[in-house]
A and B are shown apart, each in its own frame.
Chain A
Amino acid sequence: MKKYFILVLVYCLSLLTACFKDDTVVATDESMISDITITGLKDTTVTAFSTVLELEPEVVGYTEDELSYAWYVYGGELPVEGGYRTVKIADTKKLSYLVDLKQGSYTLVFEATHKENGYTMLAEMDLKVSTAFSQGFYILKETENGDCELDLYNRDNGECMSNILEATQGAALTGAPRELGVLYGKAYVDPETAEAGGANLLFVASGDNEMACFRTEDMMKVFDRSSILFGEMTADEIPYCMASIARLNLLFSNKGVRGDTPTGSSWVEGATGKLGYPKGDGASLFIQACDGSGMLYWDENAHRLRYYAGSVEEVEYFGDEINWDEVFPVATGWNHLAGVNTMWYIFEDQDGQRYLVFVDTTHAVTEVRRLDPASHIAQADVIAGNALTSYSIYVEHDNQLWIYSLEDGTEVALNPTGLPAGQITYLSDLYFSSLFDYLLIGVQNGNEYALCMYQIKGGQTLGGPEHLVEGEGKLKKVRYISQSDMYLPNYYAFTDYAVTLGMGPDFPY
């Protein structure tokens, strides 16, 4: 009997096993083939239709006669149906390729194949294709004639293009420069094809009430004050600035705030990008991030801090340390040290008394600090907040730089190495995501400017300027524009992702 149980048990176990054929072939020294090793390819950025990309990777393992080669490119707007081999650009080891691709991000693939055994090895590199205008530091300046011009500095190749408006539009914008802003995914209608689309735009305000928006791909003007609204912009309206925040692209003017949705965050395309009626009473140049959804701004007509995210709200303040009706704004900033968001404004009253006002992410004033009239920050002409590395504000007083601590109000001198002589007229902590974070210092000597870009560590400048840009004209403002598609700009800095994943601010206002 016992043996039958054993038989049944063995049978059951046999049912649990799977049959397989061991078809392993053990390699021998004779059957093994040599590996192909490819080195020497590095990610690169090139300019569309002007760069001849020359590459020659190192290939080890076989002689050149034993191998065949191929180069492919994929990504951007290229078709994807056939995999990475869809677009072949060369079949030689050495690549010499005039980059005739549209602006975008691509991948370059180099393939080496043994002619006899078919063994193939490939290597990839990222290829970012930009246009001459699609990415870089735009420098807003006043020409010797008092008009508005732009220079563009490319930190990848260290080149600076001067007087872009004259080169692309035929002339500088009339009147002195007032403001420079960046819009990501702004809806517009192409003036040449009448097709609706979306693009990154540069906003420039000049003269008494002029404005223009340029598509950074080619500097085509897509909006001005005659075309930005569905209706007519009245003669007394002064467009101050435009900015992107999360799902909004906003226009601030002395009439109020208007907004529309970036093309990337809408399910339906086809918007014209034109704007409707203004909300609120008025606005000003002093705008700031606040909660990742909307923006803070100073309403110069109502003399109140406001918040806009589709509708206008007043920033709550129940104290009496400051009389809003008697102050005007001097500066504003956004500090994001260690993932904590602090927005601040500096106001000055008619007696010259300055106040530092803190606003939290619930659009409420949390502190009003009376600034000591003897302090440098209370007398400074140029003010810019540190954003990411220090809880402080940079100020210029009597052509000397100081760092004001937001924590305790102390001030320490800042003496950047290698700063050219001249009058300091511009300060900005300019960053773009995790790509870079520079303290920008503009020094003016007559009609010549020097723009120094310093690395920052703990709020202090680190070494000499990493980039030094020199040009003609009076420097007014610098903003960086990326050719990337920005999804929900400056939104994640206000979420838990800021601390857990380091998704901080994307760019300052």
Chain B
Amino acid sequence: MKSINKIIFGMLFLGLSACEKDLPVYETSVCQLNFVYGTQEGLQTDEVTDDMRMLSHSFILNSGEGVMVDTVWVRVRTMGYLADQDRPFELIQLPTDGNDAVAGTHYVAFDDPDLQSFYMIPAGQAEVLAPIVVLRDPSLEESGDVTLKFTFQENDYFKLGYPEFSTYSLVISDQLTKPSMWGSCSLDYYFGTYGAVKHELMIKWMDQSWDDAYIETLFEELYAGFWLPKDEAYLSYLGDWFAEKLQEENEERLADPEIGDVWREANGEPVDFTPLSY
């Protein structure tokens, strides 16, 4: 009888109780760092492409004549609680399989004292623009492009964030280099694969820089990292127009006994504006 009473009492108690999952309170003190790719918010890790992690700086294309030092800015954003004091962060170079940039020669070292005040997340903020100071070394013109791949160095304040948002590769050049927007905007499908001579001809014929800023004026970022042409017919027209100009100049070059050849890229391939097929 007693046990029956206990069962009934227990059931009554059970009936009065409500189920609730006890969610954990966010209380981690770890703060992390990510780069911000593109201009729009909301980019997911699985949407990040290699083109988004690429930057380029061509002293020919992006700097004035005689400019020996220039700056490329990258956006850095924190994850975690804001702090009421300034928090320094650190960048380090990563090796690549290619021609790596050399600190002090192609860029100002990340640990240079003059840069430390810039590598700082100000109190109460979660984002900052960090400068990468690039140097116009004569070797760039003589030996070609170098690549500066970099990431964050963990310190007392910050850990690494998402791996997908943790690296940047900056191609430093004193020649024409493929603008990062060329890939983002899939210009291969309008003008064929990128080539430095092709790029130079485009700049010459249109008297436009065809750098990232100019390419961006022709497109609109529909959502993070996804660019659509404002006027697709215009880009198709330009592709045909470039091809026509190329044909005219090639005919002139072939007729000139001192040249006797068509425009070619450094690898010997003829310049070709045939768009890639989807």
The residues of A with any CB-CB pair to B shorter than 8 Å are 4, 7-8, 11-12, 15, 187, 230-231, 259-261, 266-277
Whether B229 sits at the interface, judged by CB under 8 Å, is: yes
Residues of A within 8 A of B240 (CB): 276-277
Task: Knowing A276-B237, A277-B237 are in contact, say whether A270-B8 is a contact too (CB < 8 A).
Answer: no
Contact with A along B224-246 (1 / 0, CB 8 A): 00001111111011001100100
A438 to B15, CA, bound (A): 73
Across the interface, A276 reaches (CB within 8 A) one of B11, B222, B234, namely B234
Whether B4 sits at the interface, judged by CB under 8 Å, is: yes
A264 → B minimal CB distance (Å): 15
Residues of B within 8 A of A272 (CB): 231, 233-234
A260 to B240, CA, bound (A): 15
Whether B252 sits at the interface, judged by CB under 8 Å, is: no
Residues of B within 8 A of A231 (CB): 237, 241
Task: Knowing A230-B234, A276-B237 are in contact, say whether A268-B220 is a contact too (CB < 8 A).
Answer: yes
Report yes or no: B4 in contact with A4, Cβ–Cβ below 8 A.
yes
> Can you name 28 A-B pairs with beta carbons within 8 Å?
A4-B8, A7-B8, A8-B7, A8-B8, A11-B8, A12-B11, A230-B233, A230-B241, A231-B241, A259-B233, A260-B233, A261-B232, A261-B233, A268-B220, A269-B230, A271-B230, A271-B231, A271-B232, A271-B234, A272-B231, A272-B234, A273-B233, A274-B231, A274-B234, A275-B233, A276-B237, A277-B237, A277-B241
The SS class assigned to the B binding surface is helix
Given contacts A259-B233, A268-B222, A272-B231, 5 further A-B contacts (CB under 8 A): A231-B237, A269-B230, A270-B220, A271-B233, A276-B237
Task: Knowing A272-B234, A276-B237 are in contact, say whether A267-B11 is a contact too (CB < 8 A).
Answer: no
Residues of A within 8 A of B11 (CB): 8, 11-12
Residues of A within 8 A of B228 (CB): 266-268
Q: List B residues 228-269 near A (Cβ within 8 Å).
A: 228-234, 236-237, 240-241, 244
A272 to B234, CA, bound (A): 8
Among the interface residues A12, A275, A276, A277, which one has the most CB atoms of the partner chain B within 10 A? A276
A161 to B229, CA, bound (A): 41
Residue of B nearest to A3 (CB): B4
Residues of A within 8 A of B12 (CB): 11
A260 to B234, CA, bound (A): 9
A58 to B234, CA, bound (A): 57
Could you tell me how many residues of chain B have their Cβ less than 8 Å away from some Cβ of chain A? 20
Contact with A along B1-31 (1 / 0, CB 8 A): 0001001100110010000000000000000
Residues of A within 8 A of B236 (CB): 276-277
Residue of B nearest to A310 (CB): B236
Contact with A along B207-222 (1 / 0, CB 8 A): 0000000000000101
Report yes or no: A270 in contact with B230, Cβ–Cβ below 8 A.
yes
Residues of B within 8 A of A266 (CB): 228, 232
A230 to B4, CA, bound (A): 92
Contact with A along B86-114 (1 / 0, CB 8 A): 00000000000000000000000000000
B120 → A minimal CB distance (Å): 38
Report yes or no: B237 in contact with A270, Cβ–Cβ below 8 A.
no
A133 to B15, CA, bound (A): 72
Task: Knowing A231-B237, A277-B237, A277-B240 are in contact, say whether A268-B8 is a contact too (CB < 8 A).
Answer: no
Closest 4 CB pairs of A and B: A276-B237, A277-B240, A270-B230, A260-B233
A487 → B minimal CB distance (Å): 18
Residues of A within 8 A of B231 (CB): 187, 270-272, 274
Among the interface residues A187, A269, A274, A277, which one has the most CB atoms of the partner chain B within 10 A? A277
B96 → A minimal CB distance (Å): 35
Residues of B within 8 A of A276 (CB): 233-234, 236-237, 240-241
Report yes or no: A268 in contact with B237, Cβ–Cβ below 8 A.
no
A277 to B4, CA, bound (A): 92
A187 to B234, CA, bound (A): 12
A7 to B237, CA, bound (A): 85
A345 to B220, CA, bound (A): 43
A270 to B8, CA, bound (A): 73
Residue of A nearest to B221 (CB): A268
A272 to B241, CA, bound (A): 17
Report yes or no: B233 in contact with A268, Cβ–Cβ below 8 A.
no
Residue of A nearest to B229 (CB): A268
A62 → B minimal CB distance (Å): 51
Residues of B within 8 A of A268 (CB): 220, 222, 228-230
A8 to B14, CA, bound (A): 13
Residues of A within 8 A of B222 (CB): 267-268
Residues of B within 8 A of A8 (CB): 7-8, 11
B187 → A minimal CB distance (Å): 16
A140 → B minimal CB distance (Å): 27
A268 to B234, CA, bound (A): 14
Among the interface residues A12, A260, A268, which one has the most CB atoms of the partner chain B within 10 A? A268
Among the interface residues B230, B233, B234, B236, which one has the most CB atoms of the partner chain A within 10 A? B233
Residues of A within 8 A of B233 (CB): 230, 259-261, 271-276
Task: Knowing A8-B8, A270-B220 are in contact, say whether A260-B241 is a contact too (CB < 8 A).
Answer: no
Residue of B nearest to A275 (CB): B233
Residue of A nearest to B231 (CB): A271
B97 → A minimal CB distance (Å): 37
Residue of B nearest to A278 (CB): B240
Report yes or no: B237 in contact with A230, Cβ–Cβ below 8 A.
yes
